[in-house]
Structure 1
Amino acid sequence: MDKKEINRYIFISMLAVVVCFIVKHFELFGKLIGIGLNALYPLFLGAAIAYVFNIVLAWFERHFFPKTKDGIIGYIRRPLCLLFSFIVVIAIIFLILKIVIPEIIAAIALITSKVPPLFTKATDYILLKLQEYPDVQEEAENFLNQFDLTTINWESIINKVMTFLRTGALGIINSAVGIISTVTGAITTFVVALIFSIYILLRKDKLLKDTKRMLNAYASEKTNNRLRRFFATAHDTFQSFFIGQFVEAIILGSLCFIGMSIMKLPYAGMSGVLVGVTALIPIVGAFIGAGVSAFIIATENPMQALIFIIFLVILQQLEGNIIYPKVVGESVGLPGIWVLAAVTVGGGLYGIIGMLLGVPLAATIYKLMFDTLENKEKELGIAAAETPTVKKEKAPVRVDVKAPKEKKVTPARKNAKSKKK
């Protein structure tokens, strides 16, 4: 038994011991992993922010400072482009909030003002239809009177609320402290993540160089090539997906706004922004924005809400068959069934973030898996066996290579023997 095999058995034994320890203390191990992930969460969030901002940063560097790397301009090139990137992203977020929030507030005010009259009309309509059934009408009147907004004793409700506030003051204080603590923790996490992302963006060239040096020093050439191929594929897929989704969302939101303005539907600006923002989520995103917009439009005019739904269904067909293939194209390279599966699984695990990141992650795994499959088929000769032309070409080549070797070797040996004689 050689040394290499002994080391292999030692490694397997140690791995078995570690697995047994984890299984035996699974709850403790899970808590330790949770604590570690919570501690590293700001760094992960910062890396994600840096990756998204890097797309905008690279665009500014490529278009405004394409060849400037030395001198004063080269020194301020990265910080200046980073500042422009933050200004652009913050301006986009501010513009979206400025358009959406006032419209939503107005819609909520409209809903609250229209609910009591609508409730009264619905009650009168039900009672009118129940006049044919006196027994049922009496029961219905007793039931509906419980929800009559005009007979509610608001003074009694206020007294109960004040009593609750006096008796439950301690609980309210504890709840307020908990809310303040949660908000403070979230703000702190975001600030740390933002600072970490800025550091990554400012020093990304050096970080990339140091990573390559470590891979060259500590990883084998085969492992190094595999890791580089994995990260290159993931980077291309994620970047293409984000850029394509962003452009496609802008086009869809703009078309929605233009179409609603032409048809003179209410809340055109808010609906266009909502549909565009939610369209960043593949497949189901635009329908979420459409549902919210249709509900708000229905508070003003139900018939216009129906027209909006029909218009958006037509727009979705146009987007799915023409716009999306042209804008995003086959850059992601994931079949439709896998896109649906990625959105479903990602949404079930991590909500909206999972739905957004599930598609590029699944596309990366899909590309790497099929690249490995193609290489394996080439090694096994499966691809050659499936293609008749390749098979016909290989047979004569092997014969021709072997034949000259036999002819060259035999005369050489005969000449050597004749010279000796």
Structure 2
Amino acid sequence: MSVTMSSTKTRAALRVSARVSGELLLVLVMTAVALWLLGRMWSVVWPLVVGLLLTTLTWPLTRFLRRRGWPPALAASTVTVLFLLVAGGAVALIAVPVASQSGELADGVVEGIQRLREWASGPPLNIGDDQITGAFDSATARVQDSVGSMVTTVVTGVSTVVNGVVTAVLAVFLMFFMLKDGPRFLPWLARQLPGRLATDVPTVAARGWDTLGEFVRSQAYVGLLDAVLIGLGLWIVGVPLVLPLAVLTFVSAFVPIVGALFAGFVAVLIALVSNGLTDALIVLAIIVVVQQLEGNVFQPMIQSRGLGLHAAVVLLAVTLGGSLAGIVGSLLAVPAAALIAVVWNYVREQLVEPGEEPEVQTSPSPVGTPS
């Protein structure tokens, strides 16, 4: 039985496909242009993003004080000072105990190197002192040959630190002004926009603000969980500086991937130089288990509930953000995905006819969102 295709329907289908393809291409071009502009203005956008995230973290206390009759400027100033004191206290809680035991840690490092040298000289490696000395001499020669590149690296590192300090200072000032004048922003924005935009944009902005608050709180919950579990493991093993290491773990949870690696490296290093290789391996195993649970179980579950995103979407967003923009991309991937979901949900609400309910699939589906 032969089937003939309708030329009219075929041309209509091709026209629709061509129109949809053209529209998608236009959307992709506009997205690329927007990302290019964002990159050109990143020196301003990045402090603004950090300040906005800090504001979501400190706004609940500011709102509490303002509801108690505090003037906006006084409430914002008080919360900003308290934030700086807490941040400085966290740094002191990490730095002071480490500095007080720096001598012991240095002796432990020297002793660890000596033990490693003795182990290398025995079986099965049987590396003699002459070979070790030759290796050190070769390493020294390579360092001397690469002084220029090392200077360039140091200058780049100093520039990065300076940019980080400038970003932090700008973010704190922006946080203060957002805490002080934030509630007046949406009414002002509504007065500046014409027509329906005066309603749509402030509504989406308010929902996005709530979403960012959920993101910061979920990160704090994850960091607290990591700090408690890893700190408990360090305390059981008998590693010194448990409290500073727990605080460092909590703070580093706000920086995906690198933060966890850095905190874990510090904990393993301290365990190695103070307790020996066996305890260091135990600490490494504890950190790996906790980080795997956090990255694959706790964080997707907490963020998916707080942000209204499926756990798989959270994992894919972090992976895509890291591949596109490194550490910053990993940090901003989840809130960016949540904001996109906010915009999409609002647009979908506006497109649905009054009284029309979307059809709900009742059959099991592996990609369906949980109820």
Both proteins in one fold, TM over 0.5: yes
Q: Which of 264, 280, 286 is 1:290 aligned to?
A: 264
- Contact preservation (8 Å) 1:267, 1:297: no
- Contact preservation (8 Å) 2:55, 2:179: yes
Q: 1:180 to 1:315 in 2, by over 3 A?
A: closer
Counterpart residue number, 1:122: 120
What is the correspondence of 1:222-261 to structure 2 with a 5 Å cutoff? 223-261=197-235
Counterpart residue number, 1:338: 313
* CA displacement at 1:354 relative to structure 2: 1.9
What is the correspondence of 1:32-51 to structure 2 with a 5 Å cutoff? 40-51=41-52
- Higher RCO (C-alpha 8 Å, min separation 6): 2
What is the correspondence of 1:367-406 to structure 2 with a 5 Å cutoff? 367-370=342-345, 372-373=347-348, 376=351, 383=358
CA distance in 2, matches of 1:211, 1:263: 56
- Contact preservation (8 Å) 2:219, 2:254: yes
**Higher deviation after alignment, 174-183 or 324-333:** 174-183
Q: 1:338 to 1:243 in 2, by over 3 A?
A: same
What is the identity percentage for the equivalent residue pairs of Structure 1 and Structure 2? 22
* CA displacement at 1:317 relative to structure 2: 7.6
Q: Which of 76, 79, 85 is 2:83 aligned to?
A: 85
SS at match of 2:123: helix
* CA displacement at 1:240 relative to structure 2: 0.8
- Contact preservation (8 Å) 1:333, 1:367: no
What is the correspondence of 1:246-285 to structure 2 with a 5 Å cutoff? 246-281=220-255
Corresponding pairs, count: 333
- Contact preservation (8 Å) 2:227, 2:247: yes
SS at match of 1:125: coil
- Contact preservation (8 Å) 2:57, 2:213: no
* CA displacement at 1:242 relative to structure 2: 0.4
What is the correspondence of 1:78-157 to structure 2 with a 5 Å cutoff? 78-98=76-96, 110-126=108-124, 147-149=131-133
Q: 1:246 to 1:109 in 2, by over 3 A?
A: farther
- Contact preservation (8 Å) 2:190, 2:199: no
What amino acid is aligned across from residue 182 of structure 2 in structure 1?
K
Q: Which of 210, 219, 234 is 2:188 aligned to?
A: 210
Q: Structure 2: where are the runs of 5+ without partners? A: 1-25, 363-371
Q: Which of 318, 323, 329 is 1:354 aligned to?
A: 329
Counterpart residue number, 1:6: none
CA distance in 1, matches of 2:312, 2:171: 35
CA distance in 2, matches of 1:301, 1:213: 66
CA distance in 2, matches of 1:383, 1:208: 31
What amino acid is aligned across from residue 219 of structure 2 in structure 1?
Q
CA distance in 2, matches of 1:276, 1:313: 16
Q: Structure 1: where are the runs of 5+ without partners? A: 1-18, 129-140, 388-421
CA distance in 2, matches of 1:271, 1:385: 48
Deviation per CA, 1:241-263, whole angstroms, max 9, x where unpaired? 10121133124313322343234
Q: 1:255 to 1:352 in 2, by over 3 A?
A: same
Q: 1:312 to 1:180 in 2, by over 3 A?
A: closer
Larger Rg: 1
Deviation per CA, 1:190-229, whole angstroms, max 9, x where unpaired? 54554454444433344443222112xxx321x3333233
Larger helix share, 1 or 2? 1
Counterpart residue number, 2:62: 61
What amino acid is aligned across from residue 290 of structure 1 in structure 2?
G
CA distance in 2, matches of 1:173, 1:122: 32
CA distance in 1, matches of 2:125, 2:293: 46
- Contact preservation (8 Å) 1:257, 1:272: yes
What amino acid is aligned across from residue 230 of structure 1 in structure 2?
V
Deviation per CA, 1:42-83, whole angstroms, max 9, x where unpaired? 4323422432332354233333442315xxx56633333333
What amino acid is aligned across from residue 203 of structure 1 in structure 2?
D
1:220 aligns with 2:195: yes
Deviation per CA, 1:110-150, whole angstroms, max 9, x where unpaired? 3344224413422331356xxxxxxxxxxxx7xx6764238
CA distance in 2, matches of 1:55, 1:288: 26
CA distance in 2, matches of 1:90, 1:185: 19
**Higher deviation after alignment, 180-189 or 239-248:** 180-189
* CA displacement at 1:84 relative to structure 2: 2.6
- Contact preservation (8 Å) 1:56, 1:85: no
* CA displacement at 1:345 relative to structure 2: 1.6
CA distance in 2, matches of 1:278, 1:179: 19
- Contact preservation (8 Å) 2:215, 2:303: yes
What amino acid is aligned across from residue 210 of structure 2 in structure 1?
D
- Contact preservation (8 Å) 1:283, 1:340: no
Q: 1:343 to 1:147 in 2, by over 3 A?
A: farther
**Higher deviation after alignment, 305-314 or 373-382:** 373-382
Deviation per CA, 1:286-313, whole angstroms, max 9, x where unpaired? 5664355335424542322333344446
Q: 1:151 to 1:207 in 2, by over 3 A?
A: closer
Normalised by the size of structure 2, how large is the TM-score?
A: 0.66
